[in-house]
Each structure stands twice: as structure tokens, then as C-alpha cells.
Amino acid sequence: MPELPDIVAYLTALAPRVVGKPLEKVRIASPLLLRTAVPPIQSIEGRVVKRLSRLGKRIVFMFDDASGDQAPVLVLHLMIAGRLHWRERGAKVTARNTLAAFDFPDGSLVLTEAGGRRRASLHVVRGEAALAELDPGGADVFALSLEQFRAVLIAENHTLKRSLTDPRVLSGIGNAYSDEILWAAKLSPLAQTRKLTDVPWERLYGATRETLQLWVDRLSSEAEKKFPETVTAFRPEMAVHGRYGLPCPRCGAPIQRIRYASNETNYCPICQTEGKVLADRSLSRLLGADWPRTLEELEALKRK
């Protein structure tokens, strides 16, 4: 799923292409995409894009309107597999994975979604109040002091991984960047928020802001030169995410994982869990008491 740095990169690339320009036509190819009926989607056609913004992991198009506080707003949520592409004006929407096209004077913004499940969504609402109803409520980490950051995460006692990725807690952080943040902070993804002491909180706060800023700067710089056509959660420059079995760039230990449903959490057992291998649900059920507790035991098991 595109996360905060990826959404900012999209906004960076879109701004010079659409802000101040009219959305000439909206072509919806998938009936499952549009989640609202009032106002109708046609009401934004011909209107000028006044500004772009981010709402969690959503992209917001605010349109010019004489009514002021009731200006129409288009809200696009890419979910897991949705991606944006900038094509020549009037690009076809006949491909199976194409959900919609938004035609502007200089090109068409095309929305695609890989796979068979249609999770991406499009809302059209009127005014800031209606827009706020779509906000999951997560705080902007760049607007928080250390004390505020800590207060937000300890409001409920959960694992760091869960708290970082909860859109009601923090805005825009998902599976990929939470792995990178926890690696940078040298903290276990399963550590409980209410059990952290002062020094780990300082490390987590700094790592969250620095990791996100690093990727925002990197991806935005790329987006200024070229539209981000291949947004992915797996990048070779990442330290742990998607790097199971590869060496940790800090200590050289093989990166481990916890698998659940369609996601996995990646971590370094030496840097983050004091050498302990965290239980993988599927394998730990299979191995039971034989589940390896340390990296050494895991490597020995692999050699059998």
C-alpha cells in the first residue's frame, strides 16, 4: 500500500500537471470504484483543481468553487494495489486492471489496480466538514513533540508494530515504513507501548521522523524528474522490509520475519530483539516446543 512518502511523491508529481488546470472529464471503468453518489461525479468536470493534499494515505483534490466552504472535493484511496500513471490525454481505459481516467488539458491521470480484488475507492464530497468525515484521525508525526508522540501511542497498550500502522493513531505509516522505523530505532516490533522507558521512546520518536523524512525527500526528488510509475513497498535501499534472509546492513545477521495473513514483518534479531527469533504463527504452530528461540538455534535447524 502506498504510504506517506509515496503519497507525497504522487502529490509532488501531480502538482505541476493538474493544479490550476480544469478536470475536463472523469471516465470510470469499474463501478466498484465510486463510493458516493451525492454530489454526482459529473459535478467536478470542468472545475479547476485549486490544491492537492494528503489525508492519511488518501490523495485529495480540492476544486475551485464560488460557494467557498462547499467546494467539491475528490478523495482517492489507492489501498494495497492501486497505482497512478500519467498518460497522454484521452488514454484508453479498456485494460482489465484500469479503474478510471481523469482527463486534464496536458494528459490523463490513469488509476489501475493489480489483482482481482477491487479495494481502491473514490469519494466526491462537498466542503472541509465532509472531507473531515473521511479522516481516520491519525496524528501527523511531524506535528508532534516527543511528549505528544508518546501520549498518542500509549493511549492504548499495543505492540509498536500495530500502533505505528494504525491509521487512527498515526497518519500515513504502513507495513513497509514501520519495519524501517523499528529497525532504525533498534526496537522489537512486538514491544508493548506502555512498557517502553524514556530512552527507547526518544529513539522511536527520532527514528520515525528521520526515516519518513529520508524517504519523503528521496521519493519526492525522483518525482520532480519523472512521474512515479512504479510505486512499490520493496526497494533495494531499504534496510529490512522485504529483505528476509538477507544480511542486516548494520550487523550482518540474516533478516527474519513474522508472517500473518498477506503481510509480513521484517526485523533484525541482533539489532532489535537481543538475538531472539520471534514466533512466526504458522511455523510456531507446526513446530510447537521445537520452535527455535535464538538465531543460532534457527540456523542449526536449517542445517538439519
- Give, for all 304 residues of the chain, the pLDDT tens digit: 899 999 999 999 999 999 999 999 999 999 899 999 999 999 999 999 999 999 999 999 999 986 667 889 999 999 999 999 999 999 999 888 999 999 999 999 999 999 888 899 999 999 989 999 999 999 999 999 999 999 999 999 999 999 999 999 999 999 999 999 999 999 999 999 999 999 999 999 999 999 999 999 999 999 999 999 989 999 999 999 999 999 999 999 999 999 876 688 999 999 999 999 988 755 444 334 444 555 555 454 444 4
The CATH-assigned architecture of domain 4-132 is: Alpha-Beta Barrel (3.20)
Domain 141-303 falls in which CATH fold?
Answer: Helicase, Ruva Protein; domain 3 (1.10.8)
Q: What are the angstrom distances between the C-alpha of 118 and each of 2, 15, 29, 103, 278?
A: 16, 27, 12, 22, 33
Domain ranges of the chain: 4-132, 141-303
| 226 secondary structure, DSSP code | S
Contact 58, 135 (CB under 8 A): no
- The cell numbers describing 232, all together, are 512499490
Angle, helix 198-225 to helix 175-185, in steps of 10 degrees:
130
Residues belonging to the chain = 304
